[in-house]
Amino acid sequence: MNCLKRMRRNLISASASGALLATSCGLAHAAGDAAKGKATAERWCTSCHVVSPSGGGGDTAPAFASIARMRDDTYLREVLTEPHPPMPPIALSRYQIDDLIAYFGTLRAQ
């Protein structure tokens, strides 16, 4: 086997092993955690939004339940990634955004 083929095979093997390791170690985060999303929303968003149907919160912005019914996940990801006025500039991690979107999904199901 020539050197180029051997390098290619090793690279493919290493990539597959890395993906398997990430998944088996719990590092893959494809779907968010709705409970964490609710906790994040309660911490950062209640000054303007009513976050949960049974909870309090501000009334200067739409309630999360209304947003969940009106907007899809793509729109929510864009808004949460690049906040714009009047929304304050909150720097959320990719994982926090995934969690918030999962929480919005639970509100749609209600």
- Where helices occur in the chain by DSSP H, the ranges are 3-24, 34-44, 64-70, 73-81, 94-109
Residues 66, 88 share a domain: yes
What's this model's pTM, rounded to 2 decimal places? 0.71
Sign of the Cα pseudo-torsion (64, 91, 35, 59, in order): negative
Residue 2: pLDDT band (50, 70, 90) is: low
pLDDT (0 to 100) of residue 17? 43
pLDDT in tens, 31-58: 899 999 999 999 999 999 999 988 889 9
Q: How many domains does the chain have?
A: 2
Asked whether residue 13 falls in the same domain as residue 65, the answer is no
Question: Both 93 and 43 in a single domain?
Answer: yes
- Confidence grade of residue 98 (pLDDT, cut at 50, 70, 90): very high
CATH number at residue 83: 1.10.760.10
The answer on 54 and 9 residing in a single domain is no
